[in-house]
């Protein structure tokens, strides 16, 4: 069996996800709550954690807040994920989720914008990526951009990885999405419908809309995966186009946050195992579906993945 190529997840703006149960949540008053969990998170961190659950070795690199690197290292103990992050002189952002169990688990999400990085921080990370992004490696850059990283700077970081011969996959938004308008030679991007419409400057609602929006992107990007939420995902590449659809009972779904990260982890790990693109899409959708059965983003049960893979439908798009 061929050795699995190196997979690197890059977190530019990771987070600490703090979840509290707050019965009878009311704005403007004093309420009592119970801390449920605090976990390192963010898209790239979730991807790395998911790869670990799937038994796939991975390096998690990027930037993390002052004094928080050890917390991230400990969170990946006993997994095949190695954490090699750089601390910046600012705290890691915290995302807070308030859950009111008395109102059907109603969730309130508070999202922090994160730290601002310096040129020195970016130089250290870029040097690290120039070492890791060897030919044939997979570099997954996922998540929002921190302050101090403009679209052009982000494009330069991607160019460093491409120049070394790595397969570069990107899942970002805002300025990170804007950088993709000019980026060339990327291996994969993973927008949802809304992000695709923003990227292409045209609607992306119907299948015909999506195909028209993706067509010019394929001149400079090898694979475009368009996620559709509960409806699955499309894959467009030079070999063809496919759609994978999950089959799951609604009552099995616990939460949907992080399912796109699971799709990315599944697609990349399957491609790294030398599978064809449509098989990678089907496996990615199975991973994304299985992730909705878990309470925490970044978790997945391999047995659920297997069951979802057996039910997932794959069809060519004409």
- β-pair partners for 168: 139
Other beta carbons within 10 Å of 157 = 21
- With contact defined as beta carbons under 8 Å apart, do 213 and 196 qualify? yes
User: What SS3 state is found at 234?
Assistant: strand
Give the DSSP H or E segment for 226.
strand 221-227
Q: How far apart are CA 304 and CA 282, in angstroms?
A: 14
Contact between 61 and 17 (Cβ < 8 Å): no
Using CA atoms, how far apart are residues 42 and 258, in angstroms rounded to an integer? 9
Catalytic annotation on 70? no
Q: Let me know: does 64 contact 92? Beta carbons within 8 Å.
A: yes
Q: What is the DSSP letter of 300?
A: -
154 sits in which H/E element: helix 151-163
Contacts of 309 (CB under 8 A, 6+ apart): 282, 283, 286
Q: Which element (helix H / strand E) includes 244?
A: strand 240-245
Chain center to CA of 23: 31
Q: Choosing from 121, 171, 222, 261, which is the catalytic residue?
A: 261
Bridge partners (DSSP) listed for residue 230: none
Phi, psi of 194, rounded to the nearest 5 degrees: -65, -45
Q: Give me the active site residues, please.
A: 261
């Amino acid at each position: 069996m061929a050795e699995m190529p190196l997979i690197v997840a890059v977190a530019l703006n990771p987070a600490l996800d703090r979840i509290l149960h707050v019965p009878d949540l009311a704005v403007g008053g004093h309420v009592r709550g119970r801390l449920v969990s605090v976990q390192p998170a963010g898209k790239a961190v979730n991807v790395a954690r998911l790869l670990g659950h799937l038994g796939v070795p991975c390096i998690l690199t990027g930037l993390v807040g002052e004094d928080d690197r050890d917390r991230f290292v400990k969170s990946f103990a006993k997994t095949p994920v190695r954490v090699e992050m750089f601390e910046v002189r600012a705290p890691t952002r915290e995302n807070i989720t308030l859950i009111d169990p008395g109102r059907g688990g109603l969730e309130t999400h508070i999202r922090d914008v994160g730290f601002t990085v310096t040129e020195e921080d970016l130089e250290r990370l870029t040097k690290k990526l120039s070492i890791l992004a060897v030919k044939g490696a997979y570099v997954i850059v996922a998540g929002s951009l921190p302050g101090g990283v403009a679209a052009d700077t982000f494009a330069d970081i991607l160019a460093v990885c491409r120049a070394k011969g790595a397969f570069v996959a990107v899942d970002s938004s805002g300025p990170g999405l804007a950088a993709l308008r000019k980026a060339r030679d990327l291996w994969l991007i993973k927008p949802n419908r809304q992000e695709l419409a923003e990227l292409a400057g045209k609607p992306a609602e119907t299948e015909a809309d999506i195909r028209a929006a993706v067509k010019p992107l394929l001149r400079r990007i090898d694979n475009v995966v368009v996620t559709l939420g509960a409806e699955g995902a499309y894959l467009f590449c030079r070999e063809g186009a496919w759609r994978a659809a999950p089959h799951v009972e609604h009552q099995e779904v616990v939460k949907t946050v992080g399912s796109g990260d699971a799709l990315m982890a599944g697609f990349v790990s399957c491609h790294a195992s030398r599978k064809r693109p449509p098989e990678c899409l089907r496996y990615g959708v199975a991973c994304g579906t299985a992730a909705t059965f878990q309470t925490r983003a970044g978790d997945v049960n391999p047995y659920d993945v297997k069951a979802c893979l057996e039910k997932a439908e794959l069809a060519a798009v004409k």
